[in-house]
Copies of this chain bind each other. A is one copy, B any other.
Amino acid sequence: MNGSHLPLIKLTDPSKEHTYIIDEGGSSPIMSEVREKARLAKQVTNRLAALTTEQKNNALLKMADALVAGQAAIIAANQEDLQLGRENGLTSSLLDRLALNETRIADMAEGLRQVADLPDPVGDTLETFTRPNGLQVKKLRVPIGLIGMIYEARPNVTVDAAGLALKTGNAVLLRGGSSALHSNLAIVRVLHDALADTDLPPQALQIIENPDRASVDELLKLNGLVDVVIPRGGQSLIQTVVKNASVPVIETGAGICHTYIDRDADVDMALDIAFNAKVQRPSVCNAMETLLIHQHFAEQHLGMIVNKFQEAGVELRGCEASRKLTDGILAATDEDYATEYNDYILNLKVVADLAEAIDHIGKYGTMHSECIVTNDAANAARFLQVVDAAAVYHNASTRFTDGFEFGFGAEIGISTQKLHARGPMGLPALTSTKYVIYGQGQIRA
């Protein structure tokens, strides 16, 4: 290996709850891979914070070029993962997510170039004020420090997360799904080589090799080293992180999104928005799972709605009132209303009024994206104010909750929690702040 690489980690006893390495220097104490890599990454956070935008962009462009130049090695490693995946019985959709080819690698490289093109939020002055005693206070945007990313078997997330974190002057500790391990390691090797020729220290980018669950548990407890963990993936991954982390977490993802068609809605608009919210891409978090319909609207138009969805192959599950109005609707259970299908299945519910719709959303929603279709301005205003979600829509599809659609140029994820960032997260969500105070000898009385 060349000098820019980090020392190869030796898992001396992978069967232990915490695995250990012997530092190749031979003198330092035994330390787990996760802690050692977090420590290495943390060591350079001060240097990263001092990099200019130009230095960071140059590094990203070198990383992009290196991915393309190094694609043979990456594809070869990916073949190993695919082979193991087939042996382990991965589904074809999982194998598809895992697979890399020249086009996908070119896309990953292009993603890095786009991130390089985005404005750098680090160093922005957010506030400045002078106190009566003459102290001048500035609030500046600074990198967060060391970001832990935990994700599933999608090698593109490795590149994506590295690019977003490094652009914002953060170090990053990656822990991808074990079935993409060879691909991820090959990608990180290529990126490390690229960084060796830049001002951005390769140490800033770390990937955990130990596929054991214990390495995730350890990462989640590294208070003082890891400043935040961001999980990316399905609900089970995200909930594992939320429940077990003692380091701060940004919760992303789960979306049980509703569209409510009010009594006084434009019929064509309502059908277009509802159809788009469900069918345009059912597998994503901002797709609709439940359609709420005012009883008067339902009485007149439910048959047409049901036809439209059934023609698109959507299975419908509804409340008793909906099933009385129209054939072809299965009975929906409480559990159905609480399920994120991410599939061609839609819950229907006929409601008496706006208040019932709002209550239903309060009970079953995940505070992601919620929509009202109506021409009644008062009802729209009430819905937008009272519904507690990251994004609330009047007369538009919930599918727009997305960093690119919002014009952020990048998206780290969609926060469904209320601290730090809420909704689509662009680059500023990967920064913190710092107060810088300039005095002339002031002391407190």
Residues in chain A within 8 A of chain B (CB atoms): 45-46, 49-50, 129, 131, 135, 137, 142, 144-145, 223, 227-228, 242-246, 248-251, 266, 269, 272-273, 275-277, 280, 358, 362, 384-386, 388-397, 399-401, 405-407, 417-420, 422-424, 432-444
Contacts and interface: CB of A to CB of B under 8 A. Distances in A.
Contacts of A223: 242-243
Given A242-B223, A248-B417, A437 B407 contact: no
Given A397-B442, A422-B435, 14 more contacts: A46-B358, A49-B385, A142-B388, A223-B242, A243-B246, A248-B248, A391-B435, A392-B434, A392-B436, A394-B438, A397-B439, A399-B443, A422-B434, A424-B435
Contacts of A131: 405-407
A242 B221 CA distance: 10
Given A135-B396, A248-B417, A46 B362 contact: yes
Nearest to A387: B46
Given A50-B386, A248-B248, A388-B49, A432 B422 contact: yes
A424 B437 CA distance: 13
Nearest to A431: B418
6 contacts: A227-B417, A384-B436, A394-B437, A396-B438, A419-B432, A422-B432
Contact of A273 (B49, B400, B420, B443): B443
Contacts of A393: 437, 439
A38 B280 CA distance: 38
A24 B211 CA distance: 52
Contacts of A277: 443
A249 B388 CA distance: 20
Contact of A400 (B49, B135, B392, B424): B135
Contacts of A406: 131, 137, 435
Contact of A394 (B392, B423, B439): B439
Tell me whether chain A's interface is mostly helix, strand or loop, or mixed. mixed
Nearest to A432: B418
Contacts of A396: 135, 437-443
Contacts of A435: 390-392, 401, 406, 422-424
A406 B406 CA distance: 34
A240 to B, nearest CB: 11
Number of copies: 2
Contact of A422 (B45, B228, B433): B433
B395 A434 contact: no
A419 B280 contact: no
A276 B419 contact: no
A420 B429 CA distance: 9
Residue from A144, A275, A385 whose CB has the most chain B CB atoms within 10 Å: A385
B246 A385 contact: no
A266 B441 contact: yes
Nearest to A385: B50
A254 to B, nearest CB: 11
A395 B438 contact: yes
A269 B422 contact: no
A418 B145 contact: yes
A-B pairs, 4 with minimum CB distance: A396-B439, A276-B443, A418-B432, A399-B444
Contacts of A266: 441
A346 to B, nearest CB: 16
A209 to B, nearest CB: 27
A405 B443 CA distance: 11
A392 B49 CA distance: 15
A363 to B, nearest CB: 11
B422 A388 contact: no
Contacts of A273: 441, 443
A423 B388 CA distance: 28
B50 A397 contact: no
A145 B388 CA distance: 9
A249 to B, nearest CB: 7
A273 to B, nearest CB: 6
Contact of A420 (B269, B280, B419, B439): B419
A437 B392 contact: yes
Nearest to A366: B224
Contacts of A405: 131, 444
